[in-house]
Structure 1
Amino acid sequence: MSYENVKSGLRSVAFTVTTPFDEEGENVRYDVHKENVRAIEDAGAELFVPCGNTGEYYSLSNAERANVVEATVEAVDESSTVVAGAGGSTKNVQQLLGEYESIGVDAGMIMHPAHTYLHKEGIFQYYDDIVKSTNLPIVLYKRGPELSDDVIARLGQRENVVGVKYAVNDIGAFSKAITATDADLVWLDGIAERFAPTFALEGAEGFTTGIGSFVPKPTLELQDALRNEQWERARGIRDLLRPYEDLRQEAGSENPFGAANNIPAVKYGMELAGLYGGPVREPLVELDDQDKERAEEYYDRISSTLETANFSD
């Protein structure tokens, strides 16, 4: 797929798919992963991101990462776009991207640096060495200040850097980042549906979703509303999904770390929808009973609304 075709594919909803483990959490169920991905695609999804944070990237071995990506590519139609996550050391990312390219992915996404000690110029060199080592189109993943506007602008001059997943909840900073970068990049709202209308107004051409894995219809309708600048319709869909999204951002019981509910809430939602979510791996834990009850309430509200609402208006 050409760089321009990948950019076109990024102007959509990016389904950041989960990784299904067996009941013991020991092994990946690749057959189930294919079934889950096909279910989303059958609902209209066209852009898939395996091995991202929602896919528990840092809880997977490199062999599991490659196998998850391969299962995704095998599951989807050739017309769909698969963007696979890779992170860690420079050599590790280069190795994974090489494997991904052999598998047949359409693009790679360089995960946000997890290094303890950083230098701005070293950050640029890290990304640039990776970008120069592959022919794959590359999406940059920004989750914090380390990947600065200046570094994005410099990397954006590389032909195969095609987009940015912007996962920082600061609309002012997002607007400034786009203005500061004259490269032809596709910008994605990386914090999902909650602020998708606001990010779209500032230049985001798509957004990522986790709950789309079990409620794909309203997620896709939200993107359609944004694309057609139907702001009231978009806000209505966003408001329907907001309670479940807010639950994902919570820390869970007896936990000081934010957003620990994120992935277990998605996997539990998949179970509610009749799909296989399965357990999470450490350092995450399952939702507690109270949060499960809330998830059920919010899911039922979404489902009952879907039975009566016409989101195409």
Structure 2
Amino acid sequence: MSKGDCRNVLVVAITPRNEDQQVDLDGVRRNSRYLIQNGVNFIMPECGTGLVYDASLAEYEAVVGTFIDEVGDKSHVVPGIGPGFGRSLEMGSIAKDLGVDGVMIMPVVGPASATGVYNGLKAIAEKIKLPTILYQRRLDIMTVDDVIRLCQLDEIVGLKYAVDDIEAFKQISENAGDQAAMTCGMAEDPCIDYLENGAIGFSSGMANFVPRMSLSLLQNFMSGNKDEAERLRNLMIPFEDFRGENGAQYSSSALHSAMDYIGLSGGPVIPFATDVSNK
């Protein structure tokens, strides 16, 4: 996987589950085929949308391995690793053995300092030795200058930027965009603003069930048809707003429900996420 491969919609895949909350591997296969059939070629399992935070290592290996087996060479498979230093190394080792195209280091959630995060991310990337995407959600512990420095590493091919600060993004893009792919990590809602300021792609959860809309949004923007890109974005905002309500408690489960609704595989989520109420 290279920087250029991130000129894309990065589909952060859900992890479908059966009613007993066990991973539904047949559902992973079904959902994978749907994505491929609808033009997706960049799939990111076991990230935040896939609730990697609460997955066991055995589940992680099974899910990522199933995605790889099902899509073959039709799509890049780039799972999340972490959060946490040790967990990132463990998952990175599993992912590498499975033959992934790259990994994304999940955001730090525990006690941390800017120096500690810089040293930790650098060490993870250098130890795993896979094409790596950074995931930035906090500027206090992932400073603009540190991210620019990290993007100089040979292993770093991209940045998923998910901070509501476009000026900071512009600084990073201007100073590191030649080395690493800049992507909007906040889905469709703000993606056009970021595409206009250096991003070459964006991550999407809605692409799990409406992949053609997300792909068309990006394609129209890149071809200069910004009015159509904006029209598609506006159609997607209400669902994104619902996902973000009340601390984003339905960020993943809303996608599970949507997958069930259209006849794909969603099922329940696991703690500490919350299922969408039938009401």
Short-chain TM bin: over 0.9
Aligned to 1:139: 133
Task: Find the aligned partners of 1:98 and 1:19 in 2 and give their Cα distance.
Answer: 20
Q: Which consecutive residues of structure 2, in runs of 5 or more, have no partner in the other structure? A: none
1:59–1:281 contact (8 Å) kept in structure 2: yes
Does structure 1 residue 120 correspond to structure 2 residue 138?
no
Task: Find the aligned partners of 1:8 and 1:81 in 2 and give their Cα distance.
Answer: 12
Task: Find the aligned partners of 2:144 and 2:201 in 1 and give their Cα distance.
Answer: 19
Aligned to 2:18: 22
Aligned to 2:180: 185
Aligned to 1:269: 258
Structure number with bigger Rg:
1
Task: Find the aligned partners of 2:60 and 2:271 in 1 and give their Cα distance.
Answer: 17
Q: For the structure 1 residues 78 and 144, does the alpha-carbon distance in structure 2 shift closer, same or farther, using more than 3 Å as the test?
A: same
Aligned to 1:247: 242
Letter in 1 for 2:147: I
Task: Find the aligned partners of 1:110 and 1:102 in 2 and give their Cα distance.
Answer: 17
- Alignment equivalent of 2:271, drawn from 262, 282, 287: 282
Letter in 2 for 1:260: Q
Letter in 1 for 2:11: F
Aligned to 2:71: 76
Aligned to 1:36: 31
Taking structure 2 as the reference length, what is the TM-score of the superposition? Answer: 0.95
1:156–1:183 contact (8 Å) kept in structure 2: no
Matches within 5 A, 1:152-301: 152-181=147-176, 184-251=179-246, 258-290=247-279
**Percent identity between the aligned chains?**
30
1:150–1:180 contact (8 Å) kept in structure 2: no
RMSD: 1.4
Does structure 1 residue 8 correspond to structure 2 residue 4?
yes
Deviation at 1:126, TM superposition (A): 0.5
Task: Find the aligned partners of 2:26 and 2:12 in 1 and give their Cα distance.
Answer: 18
2:13–2:208 contact (8 Å) kept in structure 1: yes
3-state SS of the aligned residue for 2:93?
helix
Deviations, residues 133-178 of structure 1 (Å, cap 9, x unaligned):
1221010011122211111111112111100001122222221222
The one of the two structures with greater contact order (alpha-carbon pairs below 8 A, sep at least 6) is 2
Deviation at 1:184, TM superposition (A): 0.8
3-state SS of the aligned residue for 2:198?
coil
Q: For the structure 1 residues 182 and 193, does the alpha-carbon distance in structure 2 shift closer, same or farther, using more than 3 Å as the test?
A: closer
Taking structure 1 as the reference length, what is the TM-score of the superposition? Answer: 0.85
3-state SS of the aligned residue for 1:262?
coil
Deviation at 1:182, TM superposition (A): 6.0
Aligned to 2:102: 107
